[in-house]
Structure 1
Amino acid sequence: MLKAVILAGGRGKRLRPITDYVPKPLIPLNNIPIIEWQVKYLKKQGIKEIIICTGYKAEMIKNYLEMKNNFGIKIKISVEKIPLGTGGAIKQAGLSIKDKSFFVLNGDTITNINLKQLAKKQNAIASIELKTKFGIMETQNDIVTKFKEKKEISDLWMNAGIYHLQNEVLKDLPKKGDIEKTVFPDYAKKGKLRTVKFKNVFWYSIDSFKDMEECSEELQK
């Protein structure tokens, strides 16, 4: 019965001019907005209630979700009057979370990561193998021996933007600021932060027009 928080308050500056007119969560991938892909993903993972943290063009997001009104899952909106950062947004949304733990999902992440696996560890970050969009060269004695395109780099893990957090984290979060720059470094120093590693999963962070194009193609497959 866990709740999930979607961090969807950013301006999406790198996707201008589209985001001058619509908020990033409403940008369509194969005619379905990012936020709808995420809600359906969370419902499939067994989540019963979602709190969406919004700021920029919040009314448009709220209106879209109310218009759809057929997801079969409880959705709340937590509006930031001023930008609070990821930590502040989670802290504000957390006022309505009484469960022992909850999930957090970045508002531009499209994935199929298994949340039940992530839930096995407290205060855990989902991690995936680092990906590169550039061709990798294998070399020997300064001679190029082979090219590999868009390779996942083994044994280097990146933050997938999906977290399983215990309720007590809320008191440590800043009222304004990013969780990645405040609580996470502090917890890491104290040995209080875990990770669950996922290999060969579907994962995209929609930060550019190229990301939109590549993710849309993969979703069609």
Structure 2
Amino acid sequence: MKAMILAAGRGERMRPLTDHTPKPLLPIAGKPLIVWHLERLAQAGFKEVVINHAHLGDMIEAALQDGAQWGLRIQYSPEAVALETAGGIANALDLLGNSPFLVVNGDVFTDISFADLKLSPDNLAHLLLIDNPPQHMQGDFAFADKKIKLEGEPKLTFSGVGVYHPALFAGIKRGEPAKLAPLLKQAITEGKVSAEHFKGIWHDIGTPERLMALNQQLLGHS
């Protein structure tokens, strides 16, 4: 299975840090955030990774190059303008192929075991859900009895980590912006999405304050 890291976001909430550094290259405990993903993907047995980028994308390519230092083969999917999540994935389908693939948000820090993630043959998506963080207490999807639904309780938050079938993005025109949520909601309505509740380490590096807090936490325990 191939993996894709979403790295095209401008990181507006992270400014001024992201004015001159793309968000995925911001350091976490002395290491670029995206490198933590690459190391864990390599440890999980992944060999091929696709990274999309827009804002300061040349810096990402210069820093990561072809991925050989992690035993990976990295291919890049540049976007002239950020295409949002589903648009970015659809734009990279030629690189991802015809089989299910893993997608990881480039702005999260997590110890999710990527090797354990699978997609059932009849489904279009498998999502990892987490307990609602303070900045998103309303949650995204209902999850009970190991079933994901649009309505109900308890509500959990989508972690930004999922496995998708290319068919989920069949209706998106390449090069056009598109959000992921409408596609997931339609697939959930059709009963073609599975999910699991992840209870390990997960941080959304969405603001300078969260970046600083995680750095202090990791460096304080080292």
Instruction: Report if the CA contact (8 A) 2:17-2:208 is conserved.
Output: no
TM-score, reference length from structure 2: 0.82
3-state SS of paired residue (1:127):
strand
Contact 1:108 1:206 in 2 (8 A): yes
Structure 2: tracts of 5 or more residues without a match? 137-152
- Structure-to-structure mapping, 1:170-185, within 5 angstroms: 170-175=169-174, 176-185=176-185
Give the root-mean-square deviation of aligned CA atoms.
Answer: 2.2
Gaps of 5+ in 1: 135-153
d(CA) in 2 for partners of 1:86 and 1:43?
A: 23
Residue of structure 1 equivalent to 2:96: 97
- Please give the TM-score of this superposition, normalised by the length of structure 1: 0.82
Counting only pairs closer than 5 Å after superposition, residues 58-73 of structure 1 correspond to structure 2 as 58-66=57-65, 69-73=68-72
Aligned residues: 200
1:164-207, CA deviations, whole angstroms, 9 ceiling, x for partnerless residues?
A: 011322313454334433311211221212211112x0101100
Query: Which has more radius of gyration?
Result: 1
- Provide the rounded CA distance (Å) in 1 between the counterparts of 2:173 and 2:180: 11
TM-aligned CA distance change 1:174 to 1:86, over 3 Å: farther
Query: Is the contact between residue 87 and residue 174 of structure 1 (CA under 8 Å) also seen in structure 2?
Result: no
Q: Where does residue 53 of structure 1 map in the other structure?
A: 52
The separation in 2 between residues aligned to 1:97 and 1:77, in whole angstroms, is: 11
Partner of 1:164: 163
Match of 2:76 in 1: 77
Which amino acid in the other structure matches residue 71 of structure 1?
Answer: W
Structure 1's 187 and 39: CA in aligned 2 closer, same or farther, altered over 3 A? same
1:17-32 equivalence runs, <5 A: 17-32=16-31
Alpha-carbon displacement from aligned partner over 1:127-151 (angstroms, at most 9, x marks no partner): 11113279xxxxxxxxxxxxxxxxx
How big is the shift at 1:66? 2.2
**Is the 8 Å Cα contact of residues 50 and 74 (structure 2) preserved in structure 1?**
yes
Instruction: Report runs of 4+ in structure 1 exceeding 6 Å deviation.
Output: none
Q: Which amino acid aligns with 1:25?
A: P
Judge which range, 65-74 or 203-212, deviates more: 65-74
What is the SS of the residue equivalent to 1:130? coil
Give yes or no for contact 1:118–1:196 (8 Å, CA) kept in 2.
no
Letter in 2 for 1:112: D
CA contact (8 A) 1:53 1:93 kept: yes
Aligned position for 1:209: 208
Partner of 2:198: 198
